[in-house]
Structure 1
């Protein structure tokens, strides 16, 4: 069975094609404003590849801690430069925000990306003391979920995890082997299972899974399967689809940001 349509979002979101250019414009303006204020540290390298870098945004006070946001794009597209403005909500509440890029498939495998994100979290955590909160969207939700696997992060970083919020995560990668994009992802049964968070031990750190109520059934199922496997919290944001489910990150008073940040 070909599951390509089940995991297709663009065809089912009104004016979907307008989202990436709008995100890019808003992100560029946000970085420019933060750079003028001396609160943007772009291009901090965490590895040797050109995409193995993160941008760090700083609040206007001593940071309460660090939020790491990992972008999505099915491990195939996008980079940190598209999402900068989604740091606005946590920043306004006094948290520093790190946004890494990573190498993309088919140049690397998903398991390589997982290790890159772990390296990025480690480097960002050295830059900002205090509690660490992880969040990510779609494939980024998968990647922050993978950070909770045993021995994925250095012990001193894992001990600082205060909350992990995967947003619309891919928690079972095995169905993706039946999509056209697997020609580039290159998943086989062994890697799909090893990279599926539902097969990890249930984490001891606080986790909240968030998904839009208007998302494709496959993404609702992926979120529910992670909740079932981990016995963690699940929030269904009614009326939100796969692209606007992260809008709340721009607003410090949104329900999303209030859920994300520890009291």
Structure 2
């Protein structure tokens, strides 16, 4: 198998190049609306680097909890500003929604990114009371899954996690050792295993692994491996590929959003 091709999503999704500008425009319009309503706290620093910042969006009532959305991009691309509008479905359920940016490889390693996301969640959890729900897409799905490992989050924050949803996650990093992307990741065999959620203990909170039925076979495998390792929920959503699988986060009544909102 050519693993570079196997893990290439852009090369097989029709009109893939249109997704980034579409996300950017929708996210910018969303931030403007939320800012005008005084429901956006943008660029909150959780660390010392310029990318160690987060946006917090507030519902139109006292928040009943915190939902965190972690973006993907193979740990190499993107930031929170592309994905602001994906807070929509959660806000309708009374959630405060936090989206963090983080430093990218090769400037840092994947393990450093995981620590940064943990710090962002900790800071946000100290700002917003109530249950914490974690959702992430692709590399963000990996990072959300890593948050459930013992010691990644402070005990008091870990205990507050009510639901977690890795969407199209990379759960076993070992295949990436054989890709050209590893020039940026700089993974060796030990680190690839250490940063792979499939080797973590089964979490002590509800988890649903979500993936699109039209995704490439390796992403179907990665989702299944994690669901089997953790004996947790596993949804293969029909007629969704790697980029549009997150569209249902926009709909408060979608199965995806309602699953994450379960008590």
Q: Would you say 1:120 and 2:113 are equivalent positions?
A: no
Structure 2 residue aligned with 1:208:
208
Query: How is 1:50-69 mapped onto 2 (pairs within 5 angstroms)?
Result: 50-69=50-69
| DSSP 3-state at the match of 1:113 | helix
Tell me, in whole angstroms, the C-alpha distance in 1 between the residues paired with 2:93 and 2:230.
29
Work out the CA distance in 1 between the residues paired with 2:204 and 2:254: 26
TM-superposed CA distance for 1:11, in Å, is 1.3
Q: Show structure 1 runs of 4+ deviating over 2 A.
A: none
Q: What's the TM-score, normalizing by structure 2?
A: 0.99
Instruction: Give the superposition deviation at 1:2.
Output: 4.1
Q: Which residue of 1 aligns with 2:81?
A: 81
The answer to whether the 8 Å contact 1:66/1:129 transfers is yes
DSSP-derived class of the 1:27 partner: helix
1:232 is matched with 232
In 2, distance between residues paired with 1:177 and 1:201? 23
Which runs of no fewer than 5 residues in structure 1 stay unpaired?
none
Match of 1:217 in 2: 217
Q: TM-score scaled to structure 1, two decimals?
A: 0.99
Determine the structure 2 residue equivalent to 1:132: 132
Unaligned ranges ≥5, structure 2: none
Query: CA-atom RMSD, angstroms?
Result: 0.7
Distance 2:17 2:230 in 1: 35
Contact 1:2–1:178 at 8 Å: present in 2 too?
A: no
The count of residues paired between Structure 1 and Structure 2 equals 263
- Residues in 2 aligned to 1:44 and 1:156: alpha-carbon distance in whole angstroms: 22
In structure 2, the partner of 1:173 is: 173
SS of alignment partner, residue 98 of structure 1: strand
Q: Distance in 1 between matches of 2:109 and 2:2?
A: 21
